C-alpha cells in the first residue's frame, strides 16, 4: 500500500485505523523484512486464527504488527507464542474481547529468552520503561485489533476497560524467586522459554508491612483476594497474584512452596454462604439464597496463579483479578516460545 | 518520494451471505429457543416460550454452556435437526 | 451471532435478541462474518431488572421476533 506524497507517515497510520491511539512505527517492507529475520518460521505460515473475525494470521502479519508496536526482531518469537496462546479455544480471546468486563490478555514470560531480549522482571516490572515488556504486549493487542478486527467500541464492549489493554507483559523474576518458575510449575522444562497468558484486569496493590510469618501474610492476601469482582462473587473469576521479593521472603522463611501458598490461600477463602447470599450485609448482589448453609470456595481449584516479580524494596504485592473462569470463560494458557 | 507500507490487517472483505429463506408464517413450526447462558436470559425466554405456546407453536429449549463462546457444533446440529426456526437470547 | 449465522448456514431461519447497547457491535460483527443475521434489540439495561420487567421486555419484543422469522408479507393491495 502506497502512502500519498503529501501524507505524514505517522498521521497516515492513525487515519487507516491501525493504531491503539498511540503512534506506531510505519511498517515499511524493509522493517518487516528485518522483523521476519527474528524467526526461523516462514512468512506465509499460518500462526493462528484470530478472533473476532476468525481471520487466518500469518507470520508476516504478526511481523507487520510487531513493527507497528515497536518490537525488535528478537522479540518476534515471543510475540508469535503469545498470539498462538491467545487464539486457543481455552484462552478464548473472542469472549475476552467482547466482554463488558475490564480484562485483557496479560502475558507473563519465563525462561532464558527474558534475559536474551532484556525484559524487566524487577523494579517497576508491571509499569513502563522497558521496550520488550511494552512492545510485546502491545504487538499482541495490535494483532487482535488489525488482523482479528477486534476494536474498542466495536466488538470490544468493555464498560470501562483498563490501561493494561494497551499492553500488559512482564517477565517473572526467576533468579530471585524461592519457587520454581511459573512455566515449570505449569509443566514445561526449566531450560525452555514460555509465555503464560492470563485474562486479567488492571493490577491493584496489596500491602502488609507487619506480617512476619507466612500464616499471617497469607491471611492478609486472602482478605484482599476476597474482593475480586466483588466480595460476594464465588467460583466465578480467577486471580493472579504477583508476589514481590519482600513478601516472597516471608513465605520462603516459613518454608512455603508455591503449591503450599496456593493451598493456604484456598483454605482461607472458603466463605460461609450466609455472608454471600443476596441481601446479606446490606448488599443486593449475591448468590442464590439456597446456598445460605453451604461453605463456598472463592476460587476454583485451578483459579489462582502465583508469579514472582518486582523490586527489592516494598512489602507490597499485586492482585490481577481475572475474568469468567475456566470452560465458562478463559483458562490460563502456557505455550513454549519457539525460534 | 513515495513510501510503501505493508497492510497489517487481514485484508478480508467477505461477501454478505443471504439469510435462510423464511416460512410465510410459523403455523405448525417448531421454534428453538437458545439460551446463551447469560443471567436473566432464562426469564426472557420463559416468557417468549409462553407467548409461542399461546400462539400454538411447538417450542424446544436449548442452552449453550457459556455466552462467551459460540455454541458447540453438536448443539447447533441438534437445533437444526429439531427446529424450523431459532431465537437466541439474551445478549447484553 | 456466530450461532445464528451458523444455523442460518444450515438452513434454519434465526434471530438474535440483544440489548440496544449492542446495535453497533452486532453490525460490526455481522460485517466481519460476511452475514446479516436478523437482530431484535430490547431496551438496556437487563441485569438489574426484576423478573416482571424482563417479561415485559419479552412481550414488547415478541411481535418483532416473529416478524424476523417469517417472510415479508406484502402490504394489502401491493402488487
pLDDT of residue A154: 85
Residue B50 distance to chain C (closest CA, Å): 10
Q: Would you tell me which residues 146-185 of chain A have a C-beta closer than 8 angstroms to some C-beta of chain B? A: 146-149
Task: Quote the percentage of chain A above a pLDDT of 90.
Answer: 91
Give mean pLDDT, residues A97-105. 94
Q: Best residue in B28, B47, B70 to probe C by mutation, most C CBs within 10 Å?
A: B47
B10 touching chain A per CB within 8 A: yes
Whether the CB-CB separation of B31 and B83 falls below 8 Å is answered with: yes
Whether the predicted pLDDT of C76 surpasses 70: no
Residue B5 distance to chain A (closest CA, Å): 4
Whether the predicted pLDDT of B13 surpasses 70: no
C38 touching chain B per CB within 8 A: yes
Give mean pLDDT, residues C9-36. 88
Nearest to A233, CA basis, from A105, A91, A101, A107: A101
Nearest Cβ partner for B34 among C3, C18, C33: C3
- How many whole angstroms from its chain centre is CA A204? 14
Nearest to A82, CA basis, from A6, A8, A139: A139
CB contact under 8 A, A29 and B1: no
CB contact under 8 A, C59 and B89: no
Q: What are the pLDDT digits (tens) for A133-148?
A: 999 999 999 999 999 9
DSSP state, residue A213:
S
Q: Write down the H helix ranges in A129-270.
A: 131-146, 182-185, 214-225, 245-253, 258-268
Whether the predicted pLDDT of B15 surpasses 90: no
B15 within a domain of the structure (yes/no)? no
The answer to whether the peptide bond before residue A68 is cis (omega within 30 degrees of 0) is no
Q: What are the pLDDT digits (tens) for A169-209?
A: 999 999 999 999 999 999 999 999 999 999 999 999 999 99
B50 within a domain of the structure (yes/no)? yes
Q: How confident is the model at residue C35 (pLDDT cuts 50, 70, 90)?
A: confident
3-state secondary structure of A184: helix
CB contact under 8 A, B5 and A1: yes
3-state secondary structure of C16: strand
Tally of structural domains, chain B: 1
Q: Would you tell me which residues 44-63 of chain C have a C-beta closer than 8 angstroms to some C-beta of chain A? A: none
> Closest residue of B to A151, CA-based?
B9
Residue A1 distance to chain C (closest CA, Å): 22
Domain hosting B39: range is 30-89
For A196, what's the count of Cα atoms within 13 Å in the CB-facing half-sphere? 23
Beta-strand ranges (E) seen in chain A are: 2-3, 46-50, 55-58, 104-110, 169-171, 194-200, 203-207, 237-243, 270-272, 295-297, 304-308, 316-324, 333-336
**What CA–CA distances, in Å, run from A174 to A177, A199, A304, A337, B81?**
5, 22, 19, 17, 54
CB contact under 8 A, B10 and A147: yes
Which three cell numbers, joined as nine digits, stand for A158? 468493555
Neighbours of A15 (CB within 10 A): 12
Whether the predicted pLDDT of C79 surpasses 60: no
Whether the predicted pLDDT of C77 surpasses 50: no
Q: How confident is the model at residue B12 (pLDDT cuts 50, 70, 90)?
A: confident
pLDDT of residue A268: 98
Whether the predicted pLDDT of C74 surpasses 70: no
Residue ranges per structural domain of chain C? 2-69
Give the separation between CA A270 and CA A247, rounded to whole angstroms: 23
Residue C8 distance to chain A (closest CA, Å): 18
Give the separation between CA A187 and CA A183, rounded to whole angstroms: 6
Asked whether the CA dihedral C7, C9, C15, C21 is positive or negative, the reply is: positive
3-state helix, strand and coil shares in percent for chain B, rounded to the nearest 5:
25, 25, 50
Give the separation between CA A63 and CA A69, rounded to whole angstroms: 10
- How many whole angstroms from its chain centre is CA A19? 20
Q: How confident is the model at residue C78 (pLDDT cuts 50, 70, 90)?
A: very low
A153 touching chain C per CB within 8 A: yes
Q: Would you tell me which residues 44-73 of chain B have a C-beta closer than 8 angstroms to some C-beta of chain A? A: 65-70
CB contact under 8 A, C54 and B89: no
- How many whole angstroms from its chain centre is CA A225? 17
Per-residue burial over A208-231, b if 16 or more Cβ lie within 10 Å, else e, is beebeebeebbebbbebbbebbeb
Whether the predicted pLDDT of A6 surpasses 80: no
Whether the predicted pLDDT of A316 surpasses 60: yes
Whether the CB-CB separation of A331 and A180 falls below 8 Å is answered with: no
Q: Tell me the pLDDT of chain A averaged across its residues.
A: 95
Give mean pLDDT, residues C26-41. 86
Let me know if C72 is exposed, middle or buried by CB neighbors in 10 A (0-12, 13-18, 19+): exposed
Q: How confident is the model at residue A1 (pLDDT cuts 50, 70, 90)?
A: confident
Neighbouring subunits of B (3+ Cβ pairs under 8 A):
A, C
> Closest residue of C to B15, CA-based?
C34
Whether the predicted pLDDT of A254 surpasses 50: yes
Task: Look at the block and give the residue holding cell 523494579.
Answer: A123
Whether the predicted pLDDT of C32 surpasses 80: no
The answer to whether the peptide bond before residue A187 is cis (omega within 30 degrees of 0) is no
Whether the predicted pLDDT of B64 surpasses 90: yes
pLDDT of residue A204: 97
B22 within a domain of the structure (yes/no)? no
Whether the predicted pLDDT of B18 surpasses 90: no
Q: What are the pLDDT digits (tens) for A199-239?
A: 999 999 999 999 999 999 999 999 999 999 999 999 999 99
pLDDT of residue B1: 52
> Closest residue of B to A65, CA-based?
B8
A334 touching chain B per CB within 8 A: no
> Closest residue of A to B2, CA-based?
A5
**What CA–CA distances, in Å, run from A206 to A3, A35, A223, A279, C23?**
49, 39, 10, 27, 39
SS (H, E, C) A276-292: CECCHHHCCCCECHHHC
pLDDT of residue B14: 59
- pTM value is 0.83
End-to-end CA distance of chain C: 34
Task: Look at the block and give the residue holding cell 512476619.
Answer: A212
- Spatial neighbors of A62 by CB under 8 A, at least 6 apart, are A47, A76, A79, A80, A83, A139, A143, A147
Q: At what angle do helices A131-146 and A76-86 cross, to 10 degrees?
A: 50
Give mean pLDDT, residues C10-24. 92
∠ CA A149-A152-A158, rounded to 5°: 125
Give the separation between CA A43 and CA A39, rounded to whole angstroms: 9
Q: What is the ipTM of this complex?
A: 0.90
Whether the CB-CB separation of B77 and B40 falls below 8 Å is answered with: no
Amino acid at each position: 500500500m502506497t502512502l500519498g506524497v503529501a501524507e505524514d507517515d505517522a498521521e497516515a497510520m492513525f487515519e487507516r485505523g491501525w493504531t491503539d491511539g498511540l503512534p506506531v512505527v510505519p511498517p515499511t517492507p524493509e522493517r518487516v523484512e528485518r522483523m521476519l529475520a527474528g524467526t526461523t518460521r516462514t512468512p506465509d505460515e499460518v500462526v493462528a486464527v484470530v478472533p473476532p473475525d476468525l481471520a487466518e494470521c500469518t507470520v508476516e502479519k504478526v511481523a507487520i504488527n510487531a513493527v507497528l508496536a515497536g518490537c525488535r526482531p528478537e522479540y518476534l518469537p515471543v510475540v508469535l507464542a503469545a498470539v498462538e496462546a491467545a487464539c486457543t479455544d481455552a484462552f478464548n480471546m473472542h469472549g475476552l474481547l467482547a466482554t463488558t468486563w475490564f480484562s485483557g490478555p496479560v502475558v507473563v514470560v519465563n525462561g532464558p529468552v527474558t534475559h536474551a531480549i532484556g525484559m524487566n522482571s524487577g523494579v517497576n516490572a508491571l509499569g513502563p520503561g522497558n521496550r520488550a515488556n511494552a512492545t510485546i504486549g502491545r504487538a499482541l493487542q495490535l494483532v487482535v485489533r488489525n488482523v482479528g478486527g477486534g476494536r474498542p467500541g466495536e466488538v470490544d464492549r468493555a464498560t470501562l476497560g483498563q490501561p493494561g489493554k494497551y499492553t500488559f507483559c512482564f517477565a517473572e523474576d526467576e533468579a530471585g524467586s524461592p519457587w520454581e518458575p511459573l512455566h515449570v510449575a505449569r509443566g514445561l522444562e526449566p531450560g525452555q522459554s514460555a509465555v503464560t497468558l492470563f485474562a486479567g484486569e488492571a493490577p491493584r496493590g496489596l500491602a502488609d508491612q507487619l506480617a512476619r510469618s507466612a500464616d499471617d501474610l497469607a491471611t492478609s492476601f486472602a482478605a484482599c483476594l476476597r474482593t475480586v469482582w466483588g466480595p460476594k462473587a464465588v467460583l466465578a473469576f480467577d486471580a493472579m497474584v504477583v508476589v514481590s521479593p519482600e513478601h516472597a521472603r516471608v513465605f520462603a522463611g516459613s518454608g512455603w512452596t508455591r503449591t503450599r501458598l496456593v493451598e493456604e490461600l484456598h483454605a482461607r477463602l472458603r466463605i460461609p454462604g450466609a455472608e454471600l447470599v443476596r441481601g446479606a450485609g446490606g448488599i443486593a448482589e449475591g448468590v442464590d439464597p439456597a446456598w445460605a448453609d453451604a461453605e463456598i470456595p472463592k476460587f476454583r481449584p485451578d483459579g489462582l496463579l502465583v508469579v514472582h516479580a518486582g523490586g527489592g524494596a516494598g512489602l507490597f504485592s499485586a492482585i490481577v483479578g481475572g475474568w469468567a473462569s475456566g470452560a465458562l470463560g478463559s483458562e490460563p494458557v502456557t505455550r513454549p516460545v519457539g525460534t | 518520494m513515495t513510501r510503501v507500507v505493508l497492510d497489517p490487517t487481514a485484508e478480508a472483505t467477505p461477501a454478505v451471505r443471504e439469510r435462510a429463506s423464511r416460512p410465510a408464517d410459523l403455523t405448525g413450526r417448531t421454534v428453538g429457543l437458545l439460551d446463551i447462558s447469560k443471567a436473566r436470559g432464562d426469564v426472557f425466554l420463559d416468557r417468549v416460550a409462553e407467548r409461542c405456546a399461546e400462539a400454538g407453536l411447538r417450542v424446544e429449549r436449548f442452552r449453550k454452556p457459556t455466552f462467551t463462546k459460540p455454541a458447540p457444533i453438536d448443539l447447533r446440529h441438534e437445533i437444526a435437526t429439531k427446529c424450523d426456526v431459532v431465537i437466541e437470547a439474551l445478549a447484553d | 451471532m456466530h450461532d445464528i449465522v451458523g444455523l442460518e448456514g444450515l438452513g434454519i431461519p434465526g434471530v438474535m435478541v440483544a440489548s440496544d447497547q449492542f446495535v453497533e457491535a452486532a453490525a460490526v460483527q455481522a460485517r466481519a462474518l460476511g452475514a446479516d443475521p436478523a437482530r431484535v434489540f430490547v431496551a438496556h439495561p437487563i441485569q438489574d431488572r426484576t423478573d416482571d420487567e424482563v417479561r415485559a421486555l419479552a412481550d414488547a419484543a415478541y411481535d418483532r421476533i416473529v416478524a424476523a422469522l417469517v417472510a415479508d408479507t406484502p402490504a394489502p393491495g401491493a402488487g
